[in-house]
Structure 1
Amino acid sequence: MKFTRLVIENYKSFQFATEIPFPVGADGKSIFLIGGMNGAGKTSIMEAVSFCLYGTKPEVIYKNINRKELARGNTSVSFELVVELDDGSELIVKRSWSGGVVNDAKAKDLEERLVVVQDGKRVSVQNKQMWQDFIRATIPPGITQFFFFDGEKIQEIAADDHSELRLKKSLEAALGIQYITKLSEDVLYIKTEERRGFVQISDEDLEFKESELKREKSKVSRTIQERNEVKAELDAFKNQHQEAKERFQATFNAEPETRDSIREAEKARIQASNRLGQVENELKTMCEGVLPFAIAGRLFADIRKQIDAERETVQYEAIRDNAAILARKIVRVVEEPEPIYREKLSAEKMAELEQRIFRLLQQGDSVNDSIKILNLSDRDAARVLQKMETLENSDVFLIQPLLEEKQELAVQVRQLEAALQPGIASDSEKELFDQLQAEMESCLTQIGRKTEQLRLLEDEILALEKRIRDIELDVEKLYEKHHVSKEKAGFIEECDAIANLLNQYTVRLRKNKVHLLQEKTFEMYRMLSSKTGLIKDILIDDKSYEIKMIDRNGHEIRKSSLAAGEKEVFALSLLWGLAQTSQLQLPILIDTPLSRLDSTHRDNIIKHYFPNAGQQVIILSTDTEIDKDYYRNLQPYLSGAASLEFEPRQELTTVKQGYFWEQ
């Protein structure tokens, strides 16, 4: 089976009917490479194939209608997949949803339509369920996860040491065991129903076990329903996060900041803000303590002058108060110890001279007399002069550097705030920025919660199924305690024989299939792994499907001890082994399989996995996964290549022939 063409219309960024052909090479194989940057529509192609084959809820379709077309009132979405079947016949499956002529149609108004065309003839689809069953039988949905997968599926398988146990039902479907198991269960069900018709089942233990079995089955159904709802919610949060991220990129032309970078920037802003507060407090303290005195600094010269003037006034007052004594001493100095002039003054002249000096001292210098405003003692005057000198030499001169530092810190805080909100020019953009950041943070939180909730529900389902098997065994034992009638005994024995034969066949088939799966998985692992000498063998339990890796010393290697790249290589090997063991010739559709692998593993996958994955391989890749070097290595195997070109402004994806650099 091969896909030959896919058409997507009015879904996400595929606004118009977009055809993607899948050519076949001369050797009959088809390895087709589709390049696209993140957000260009690679995931949309995966979804289009799944929705076209198996359908989905109208709410999912409505949520992903192209926004421009939805704004115009166009709610018609369609997918068309052309398939070449193994017998060479052509099958066209077209599934569409439309709100009809309803104005402002909502999700509940969408009606689904299925059209099937086989060998150019439209098939009657009056019984849509019949053709849906035909599609499901041709391409079983239970195993498509091993043929249509992306990096997340690879990570799911590589997640922990026992992730394969969660895939038991899907593994059995891929190995062809599911239908035989179902047939065996049906035979046992018929046997049980026949027993109910003639055996008296009045035993209290049997009634209790049956009611207990019913309760546990009901509990499983509710848990499965809850699991599906949580999974849908998880997908919704992932889509919401992706949409918010794309809106952020389109609006602000920048990648959303990670939590760590936002926290670092916020830490720097807080530190700068705190330092700004400290500087402001220092300025305030300085202004409260020193600045009031410093403001009076222009009066210091006048104060000093006044102190000097008052000191002189005090001196002159002292001279006037002691004028008589001073005059007498001065006159005596003229005569004693020896006259300083030729003629000796008479007593009258001496008395007159003393009187003149007295009057002179008594008069003093009236010009230097000043009003005593301060009236300070010499001690207080000295203290005032010292205080003024201290103020003049104080920290008041640090005010200017602090003011400059305050200005620089204010600019730094504004720059950090702007860095936390890039490209924001208005309050509305700031509000949108905060809203998108909060929405992405909330989505990531919910994704973590829902992922953990989903894991717990899966564990609970596994435990309940084991509990049901134990109860069924108990019920079976209780039934065997009752005698069956002769008329029904042969029939029941035949049912037992058939069921036993089917069980034996299932055991042998499972053992053979699991053995083949081991060989195929290890075969691919040896080609892809960079540590082929480390692992000697891969063993798969034919009952539980638990996988063990054995080293050359015979010791088990836990998957959790492998490097991330080795885990993903193991997951790819298991997927390839399942595809080979199932013997179903289905196309392999892979989305971004190399994003987390190193160059060695990528080389091995390019050389060994893609060329041998299947008769048809469709690879969805970015330009950093399959770059120019890997493209040259892969090109000899390619039947064709195309690129998804996304125009952000128009939110439109178109398909161009040729890989990125072949345009």
Structure 2
Amino acid sequence: MKFRKFTIDNYKSFQFPTEILFPDGDNGKSIFLIGGMNGAGKTAIMEGISYCLYGGKVEDIFRAINRKSLALGNASVSFELEIEMDDASPLIVKRSWSAGVIDKPKAKDLEERLVVVRDGKRVSVQNKQMWQDFIRATIPPGITQFFFFDGEKIQEIAADDHSEIRLKSSLEAALGIEYINKLSSDLLYIKQEERKGFIEISDEDLDFKESELKLQKSKLERLNKKRYEIKEDLESFKAQKEEASKRFQAHFNVEPETRDAIRETEKRRIQTANRLGQVESEIRTLCEKYLPYSLLGGLFEGIKQQIEDERESTQGEAIKQNAAELAKRIVRAVEDPEPIYKERLSYEKMAELEKRIYTLLSEGDSVNSAIKILNLSDRDAARLLQRMEEIENCDIFLLQPLLEEKKELGIELDKIEFSLQSGAATDSEREIFDQLQSEIEGCTTQIGRKTEQLRLLEEDILIYEKKIRDIEIEIEKLYEKHNVSKVKADFIEECDAIAGLLNQFIIRMRKNKVHLLQEKTYEMYKLLSSKSGLIKDITIDDKTYEIRILDKNGQEIKKSGLSAGEKEVFALALLWGLAQTSELKLPIIIDTPLSRLDSTHRDNIIRNYFPNAGEQVIILSTDTEIDNNYFKNLQSHLSGAVSLVFNQQQELTTLKTGYFWEV
């Protein structure tokens, strides 16, 4: 596996998209050199590659967004890594975080997006976790600390006599032992889960369930037999009905179903006759109650006028009879209680006024005089007027619609009775008609009953079939749980056998891997150490991974007794041994590895470690670590070099082709 291109955008001092191309060196040129002063962005590149592959906390990402871009509202950052796989197929991983267009974005607003491109085709990332797992399986994060490291990692390993013990899990991951341990643990878990299935089930329990199953099957068999009998009866009645229907049609040349039509016609005849009776009753009531009086309806207006004239004539006569008294009361009303005029009348004038009023009243109105024909009292007149009003508002005027309805009902009733009389010509035909119709109706009734019986019976059959299935499933589960289950016992026995083989394999593999690791580590340590002549061997315990350094006399040399430089070259030797032993072809990325070393150790690392560290080695260095002389020593191994140029005023890093002093 090799890195071909890395793009970093808006991260720390990389405000704008910056591409770093990693060329493929010929003839063993495996080293790519990235130069940069302190603060120019070397560590940002290391962090960016890790974030691109494995993601990170949004808080850390947000804090590292370029400050100028963030101030302008650009809360986004992205990394893209183009990889050439071992089979030469391309893989592109792009991971970005963005808060979108919002005011004053915060870390929680960042949304992560992962894009994976394989063989030039963008793959679906709906299942983000699946592709993240793919990346982690391709480049395991527990192992990359031994391939992507800086001076701090070297110091961590070199820190004390037992630092490697704390790295046990990572060491086993790098050596490939972790996956075998995981497989062994999974196998143990499966075996334990299988053992949970061993519940003690007695033969009596199985016999009881078997007898219950037999009983339910016996009941189901009886129900199926009864269903068969009902179906036979049902088919028989259907055949009888069909035969009767054919004879009916042959004899009367009509379908037997016309019997229903006849019944419906008879029903209509009864309804029509009943309605006709109601209409006739209403007509009689109207004629008896109102008809005699309604014949005088044309005289009602004259009678009303005569009553009114006689009333007015009677009132006039009453006035004439009381003219003297009325005249006196009218004259008194002129001045009592007060005069209605300014000048008071004299006695003579008052007498003259009373006389004139009397004359007027006693003469009366000759127009209102009428000949008294009816001569009714006021009470009788009021009763007569009320009666005439009742007659005028009565239902006698509904008589005409009722007469028309009676006529229509009579015509319809005649038609219905005629159709009924033509239904059967003779008594013998009527007898045959009734006999066949009765036979058909009897078959229809039996068909309905048998159909309902069959429906209920089939429901019961479904219930018993479900009971039987449930019991069979229960019995099957009981057999599966039975402690004499041969299949389960064999499976657990196989799990034990496989677990034993895996444990033996782990022991042998760990011994082989640890032995190879100590050989490779000692091999590189001799090349790097200034005291290699004093060291006879390096041993690593294949259980605890504790490392012992032995002198020529076989005495242990404590790591704490080594100088700082010796500790660091020992750490580099161990990292190189892990890379070689793991057999993983990952790129090696080293950030400022020489800052704490003296010139002797630096010379050894430049000559012996960097050219042999891996198939692709990316070194991030300052101009004082790999200076002009070291650069010349490495030049024959370089596939290329670039420099990070940091503008302090703009706080901006850009990329320049060539190392510091290269043009």
Report the TM-score range of the alignment, normalised by the length of the smaller protein.
0.5 to 0.7
Cα distance in 1 between the residues matched to 2:485 and 2:147: 51
Report SS of the residue matched to 1:193. Answer: helix
**How large is the RMSD of aligned CA atoms in angstroms?**
1.4
Report SS of the residue matched to 2:492. Answer: helix
CA contact (8 A) 2:36 2:620 kept: yes
Greater alpha carbon shift after TM alignment, 57-66 vs 190-199 = 190-199
Runs of 4+ in 1 over 6 A off after TM superposition: none
Cα distance in 1 between the residues matched to 2:157 and 2:583: 21
Say whether residues 1:3 and 2:3 are aligned partners.
yes
Say whether residues 1:163 and 2:163 are aligned partners.
yes
Alignment correspondent of 1:379: none
Cα distance in 2 between the residues matched to 1:58 and 1:158: 32
Cα distance in 1 between the residues matched to 2:116 and 2:187: 34
Alignment correspondent of 1:17: 17
Say whether residues 1:101 and 2:87 are aligned partners.
no
Using the TM superposition, give the Cα deviation of residue 24 of structure 1 relative to its aligned residue in structure 2, in angstroms: 1.4
Using the TM superposition, give the Cα deviation of residue 631 of structure 1 relative to its aligned residue in structure 2, in angstroms: 0.9
CA contact (8 A) 2:154 2:571 kept: yes
Deviation per CA, 1:58-86: give whole Å up to 9, x if none.
Answer: 11111110000000000110001011111
Greater alpha carbon shift after TM alignment, 115-124 vs 132-141 = 115-124
Say whether residues 1:548 and 2:548 are aligned partners.
yes
Alignment correspondent of 2:518: 518
CA contact (8 A) 1:195 1:484 kept: no
Cα distance in 2 between the residues matched to 1:181 and 1:485: 31
Cα distance in 2 between the residues matched to 1:586 and 1:120: 22
Report SS of the residue matched to 2:16. Answer: coil
Say whether residues 1:50 and 2:18 are aligned partners.
no
CA contact (8 A) 2:585 2:615 kept: yes
CA contact (8 A) 1:23 1:640 kept: yes
Where in structure 1 are there 5+ consecutive unaligned residues? 201-482
CA contact (8 A) 1:82 1:93 kept: yes
Alignment correspondent of 1:81: 81
1:122-161 paired onto structure 2 within 5 Å: 122-161=122-161
CA contact (8 A) 2:32 2:641 kept: yes
Q: Counterpart of 2:519 in structure 1: which amino acid? A: E
Deviation per CA, 1:522-554: give whole Å up to 9, x if none.
Answer: 110011011111110110011111111111101
Alignment correspondent of 1:618: 618
Over 3 Å counting, the alpha-carbon distance change for 1:28 and 1:525 in structure 2 is closer
Report SS of the residue matched to 2:509. Answer: helix
Q: Counterpart of 2:50 in structure 1: which amino acid? A: S
Alignment correspondent of 2:583: 583
CA contact (8 A) 2:73 2:101 kept: no
Using the TM superposition, give the Cα deviation of residue 156 of structure 1 relative to its aligned residue in structure 2, in angstroms: 0.3
Using the TM superposition, give the Cα deviation of residue 486 of structure 1 relative to its aligned residue in structure 2, in angstroms: 5.7
1:398-417 paired onto structure 2 within 5 Å: none
Cα distance in 1 between the residues matched to 2:179 and 2:521: 23
Question: What is the identity percentage for the equivalent residue pairs of Structure 1 and Structure 2?
Answer: 77
Report SS of the residue matched to 1:530. Answer: coil
Cα distance in 2 between the residues matched to 1:599 and 1:652: 33
Q: Counterpart of 2:658 in structure 1: which amino acid? A: G
What TM-score, normalized by structure 1, do the two folds share? 0.56
Q: Number of aligned pairs?
A: 381
Using the TM superposition, give the Cα deviation of residue 489 of structure 1 relative to its aligned residue in structure 2, in angstroms: 3.3
Alignment correspondent of 2:506: 506
Cα distance in 1 between the residues matched to 2:40 and 2:117: 30
Over 3 Å counting, the alpha-carbon distance change for 1:484 and 1:624 in structure 2 is farther
Using the TM superposition, give the Cα deviation of residue 27 of structure 1 relative to its aligned residue in structure 2, in angstroms: 2.4
Over 3 Å counting, the alpha-carbon distance change for 1:105 and 1:524 in structure 2 is same
Alignment correspondent of 2:530: 530
Alignment correspondent of 2:562: 562
Q: Counterpart of 2:94 in structure 1: which amino acid? A: K
Using the TM superposition, give the Cα deviation of residue 128 of structure 1 relative to its aligned residue in structure 2, in angstroms: 1.2
* Structure label with greater radius of gyration: 2
Deviation per CA, 1:601-639: give whole Å up to 9, x if none.
Answer: 000000010000000000000111111111111111101
Alignment correspondent of 1:196: 196
1:240-279 paired onto structure 2 within 5 Å: none
Alignment correspondent of 1:113: 113
1:230-629 paired onto structure 2 within 5 Å: 487=486, 488-629=488-629
Over 3 Å counting, the alpha-carbon distance change for 1:530 and 1:484 in structure 2 is farther
Using the TM superposition, give the Cα deviation of residue 199 of structure 1 relative to its aligned residue in structure 2, in angstroms: 5.9
Cα distance in 1 between the residues matched to 2:496 and 2:121: 46
Say whether residues 1:183 and 2:179 are aligned partners.
no
Deviation per CA, 1:556-608: give whole Å up to 9, x if none.
Answer: 11111001100000000000000000000000000000011000000000001
Report SS of the residue matched to 1:494. Answer: helix
Q: Counterpart of 1:539 in structure 2: which amino acid? A: T
Alignment correspondent of 2:646: 646
CA contact (8 A) 1:23 1:30 kept: no
Alignment correspondent of 1:630: 630
CA contact (8 A) 2:528 2:604 kept: yes
Report SS of the residue matched to 2:617. Answer: strand
Report SS of the residue matched to 1:594. Answer: coil
Q: Counterpart of 1:535 in structure 2: which amino acid? A: I
Alignment correspondent of 1:294: none
Say whether residues 1:37 and 2:37 are aligned partners.
yes
Cα distance in 1 between the residues matched to 2:655 and 2:633: 23
Using the TM superposition, give the Cα deviation of residue 52 of structure 1 relative to its aligned residue in structure 2, in angstroms: 0.3
CA contact (8 A) 2:115 2:122 kept: yes
CA contact (8 A) 2:30 2:611 kept: no
Q: Counterpart of 1:66 in structure 2: which amino acid? A: N
1:189-228 paired onto structure 2 within 5 Å: 189-198=189-198
CA contact (8 A) 2:22 2:640 kept: yes
Cα distance in 2 between the residues matched to 1:495 and 1:485: 17
Q: Counterpart of 1:563 in structure 2: which amino acid? A: S
Using the TM superposition, give the Cα deviation of residue 29 of structure 1 relative to its aligned residue in structure 2, in angstroms: 4.4
Q: Counterpart of 2:27 in structure 1: which amino acid? A: D
Q: Counterpart of 2:639 in structure 1: which amino acid? A: S
Cα distance in 2 between the residues matched to 1:597 and 1:7: 32
CA contact (8 A) 1:22 1:30 kept: no
Q: Counterpart of 1:145 in structure 2: which amino acid? A: Q
Using the TM superposition, give the Cα deviation of residue 102 of structure 1 relative to its aligned residue in structure 2, in angstroms: 2.1
